[in-house]
Amino acid sequence: MGIVRVSAFSVSLDGFAAGPGQDLQHPFGLGADEVPAWLRKTQMFHKMIGQPGGATGVDNDVAQSSMENIGAWIMGRNMFGPIRGPWPDEAWKGWWGPNPPYHVPVFVLTHHARAPIEMEGGTVFHFVTDGPEAALARAKQVAGVKDIRIGGGVSVIRQYLQARLLDEVRLAVAPVFIGAGENLFSGLNLPDLGYAGIESAAGENATHIRVMRK
């Protein structure tokens, strides 16, 4: 049986994963481009977007392992795209082009129904309107013995933390302060929810923290 996990999720030193004002031009919000910069420098990321180069090392190992043994993904509407409210049409199919990097079923949490989208490489986006637990139940049906990765954004991860449904959270802490935006930890008492940090490793451009549910 696999686990339900967050992997390689980037946050600032003050706990922000995104700044204010997320839109098509600023997918991570204003002032937050440096939060996931460690990932963009890795060989894994370069390969994923079809470009040569990229650095090897601890950061790359973390990035690579984050994509392994995944049977299903769950993500929020904001991670799927910048469109808010009812779908104006079916033109938007994600940030990633015709062949997204997931290659398994992806369950997108939303308040607005939409038909599934089949993409190249085995990625199928399913739009779930009845909440995080329903999305997790569907993900478990297709994941089998593999893991289910919760991809974000912040509000989605917070919901799964508050429901104590995450087995493991792996954070990549970037050495920057953001000051405003979407904070992963605000108002959460993680020890009371049963979570504890168990190890950390210094990467080239981020510190990698592993959190487990007791």
pLDDT score of 214:
87
Domain containing 187 equals 4-17+28-82+99-213
Answer yes or no: is 77 within a domain: yes
pLDDT score of 76:
95
- CATH value at residue 202: 3.40.430.10
Answer yes or no: is 173 within a domain: yes
Answer yes or no: is 87 within a domain: no
Radius of gyration for the alpha carbons in the chain, expressed in angstroms and rounded: 16
Q: Show the low-confidence residues of the chain (pLDDT under 50).
A: none
Say how far apart CA 95 and CA 74 lie, in whole Å.
15
Distances (CA, A) of 13 to 32, 85, 142, 193: 12, 31, 36, 22
Domain count, the chain: 1
Answer yes or no: is 91 within a domain: no
Give the chain's mean pLDDT: 95
Distances (CA, A) of 162 to 159, 168, 172, 209: 5, 13, 20, 19
Strand partners, 105: 124
pLDDT score of 14:
96
Say how far apart CA 136 and CA 2 lie, in whole Å.
13
What predicted TM-score, i.e. pTM, was given to this entire model?
0.94
Answer yes or no: is 89 within a domain: no
